[in-house]
A = this chain, B = another copy of it.
Amino acid sequence: MTETNECDHYDSRILAELQQDARITMAELGRRVHLSQPAVTERVRKLELSGVIKGYRAEVDLARLGYGIRAIIRVARAEYARVVRLIEQTPEVINAYNVTGDDSWVLEIAVIDVSHLDAVVTKFCILTETSTCIVLNAPRENAMVLPARRENIKPAIKKVTGK
């Protein structure tokens, strides 16, 4: 299994378009990337099979669905299986990351209001220490990702490349 599954320029264009709008037709996608409909369909099929495209999801507005508060909970080290089980039993958890460092877990949750937030935080407090902060706004969310290309990395201006 190659890491960067030889994504050529067409595949990058296709991934960009589908990350912007996953519901465009294959015919329209073909027009945008300048390929015939069967050709893009085949490429998309391969991207799906190789696992580059994991799926297609509708993106919903949490506030409009009644979730007034988004929060980040950092959870200190605790028995791994217990945390995972608790996450599984907590639908309010949108994203759950097991991370390095003292805070073993970073959870992103959506709750209705403060009392709901209290209820969810308490569930994790029972396990171990937690630290909660509320999301005020999100200038970037689920940004588009293109195939990694080393030459795109802009180094910070810390080149102390003496010698």
Interfacial residues, chain A to chain B (CB-CB below 8 A): 3-5, 7, 15, 18-23, 50-68, 70, 72, 84, 87-88, 91, 93-101, 103, 106, 110, 112, 116, 119-120, 122-123, 126, 131, 133-143, 145-150, 152-156, 158
Residues of B within 8 A of A67 (CB): 145, 148
By DSSP majority rule, is chain A's interface helix, strand, loop, or mixed?
A: mixed
A132 to chain B, nearest CB (A): 8
- Give Cα distance in the complex from A133 to B72, angstroms: 15
Contact A99 B136 (CB under 8 A): yes
- Give Cα distance in the complex from A104 to B70, angstroms: 15
A26 to chain B, nearest CB (A): 10
User: Given that A22-B57, A53-B59, A136-B100 are known contacts, is A143 also in contact with B94, CB under 8 Å in the complex?
Assistant: yes
A41 to chain B, nearest CB (A): 12
Contact B56 A148 (CB under 8 A): no
Contact A5 B64 (CB under 8 A): yes
Contact A54 B59 (CB under 8 A): yes
Contact B156 A119 (CB under 8 A): yes
Contact B56 A56 (CB under 8 A): yes
Contact A98 B138 (CB under 8 A): yes
A151 to chain B, nearest CB (A): 11
A50 to chain B, nearest CB (A): 7
User: Given that A95-B141, A96-B139 are known contacts, is A60 also in contact with B53, CB under 8 Å in the complex?
Assistant: yes
- 10 smallest beta-carbon distances between A and B, as pairs: A66-B148, A18-B58, A122-B156, A22-B56, A101-B133, A4-B66, A96-B140, A99-B133, A23-B56, A54-B59
